[in-house]
């Protein structure tokens, strides 16, 4: 299988935002997003949360405000897995994240497996200042991965934990929904696969083009 057909939630969202931007950032890679202070802050928090839950390492003082929330997560029943990597093959079988056959890749910020109850929890940390435009779709994909990697799990409760604005966006998924939900996502990926197979990358102009897009070679970019 061509590595060009491999995807993640973030890569698919980028393609849906603008195929032309996807082409430049993920295919030919002649442009890249700058690493903002907000991105660095998010990376630091993910590291601190992993070390706190997995190793018991104290939180840096500037993340002390999240301690109660992380303590609640630590008290959840079940095995805790931080930054847990999961791969799925094109025939929807579980595989390692770096398996040559991997088709979809996903990473759970925190995965809690309660085998006795047949339930799992998936948490994704968000460090944005608002949950107004929260997108729980990624939770659905991660839940589908959990069902494949842990077939004993029948229900996944998941959430986006917005640590700065103290918000929590919940979602849940049952193992019985897998066939329908995978069909939705394979259909979405089919559009990306078509673009890759036929080398068609049409721009998708929006209000973000002129001020925010890094692809300055695009005719819709206001900074070229």
* Average pLDDT rounded to a whole number, residues 185-212: 92
The residue with greater pLDDT, 1 or 68, is 68
Q: What percent of the chain has pLDDT over 90?
A: 85
* Average pLDDT rounded to a whole number, residues 159-171: 95
Using one digit for the tens of pLDDT, what is the confidence trace for 4-31?
579 999 999 999 999 999 999 999 999 9
User: What per-residue confidence (pLDDT) applies to 211?
Assistant: 79
Using one digit for the tens of pLDDT, what is the confidence trace for 38-97?
899 999 999 999 999 999 999 999 999 999 999 999 999 999 999 999 999 999 999 999
User: What per-residue confidence (pLDDT) applies to 1?
Assistant: 41
Q: Which residues does 58 contact at the CB level (< 8 Å), separation at least 6?
A: 52
Give CA–CA dist 157/172, Å, rounded.
Answer: 4
Q: What is the DSSP string of the chain?
A: --GGG-B-HHHHHHHHH-HHHHIIIIIS--------HHHHHHHHHHHHHHHHHHH-PPPPGGGGGGHHHHHHHHTSSSEEEEEEEEEEETTS-EE-TT-TTEEEEEEEEEEEEETTTTEEEEEEEE--S--TT--THHHHHHHHHHHHH-TT--EEEEEEEETTTTEEEEEEEEGGGHHHHHHHHHHHHHHHHHHHHHT-------TTHHHH---TTSTT-TT-
Using one digit for the tens of pLDDT, what is the confidence trace for 132-147?
888 999 999 999 999 9
* Average pLDDT rounded to a whole number, residues 145-173: 96
Give CA–CA dist 155/153, Å, rounded.
Answer: 6
Average pLDDT, the chain: 94
CB atoms inside a 10 Å sphere around CB 91? 7
* Average pLDDT rounded to a whole number, residues 95-100: 96
User: What per-residue confidence (pLDDT) applies to 187?
Assistant: 96
Phi, psi of 175 (to 5 degrees): -60, -30
């Amino acid at each position: 299988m061509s590595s060009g057909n491999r995807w993640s939630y973030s890569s698919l969202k980028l393609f849906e935002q603008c195929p032309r931007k996807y082409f430049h950032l993920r295919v030919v890679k002649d442009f890249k997003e700058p690493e903002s202070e907000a991105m660095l802050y998010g990376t630091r928090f993910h590291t601190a949360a992993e070390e706190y839950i997995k190793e018991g390492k104290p939180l840096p003082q500037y993340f002390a405000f999240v301690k109660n929330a992380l303590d609640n997560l630590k008290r959840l029943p079940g095995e805790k897995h931080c930054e847990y990597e999961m791969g799925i093959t094109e025939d929807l079988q579980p595989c390692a994240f770096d398996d040559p056959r991997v088709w979809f890749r996903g990473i759970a910020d925190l995965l809690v497996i309660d085998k006795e109850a047949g339930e799992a929890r998936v948490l994704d940390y968000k460090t944005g200042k608002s949950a107004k435009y929260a997108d729980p779709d990624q939770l659905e994909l991660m839940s589908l991965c959990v069902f494949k990697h842990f077939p004993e799990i029948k229900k996944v409760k998941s959430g986006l934990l917005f640590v700065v604005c103290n918000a929590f966006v919940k979602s849940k998924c049952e193992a019985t929904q897998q066939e329908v939900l995978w069909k939705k996502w394979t259909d979405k990926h089919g559009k990306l696969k078509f673009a890759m197979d036929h080398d068609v990358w049409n721009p998708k102009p929006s209000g973000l083009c002129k001020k925010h897009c890094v692809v300055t070679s695009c005719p819709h970019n206001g900074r070229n």
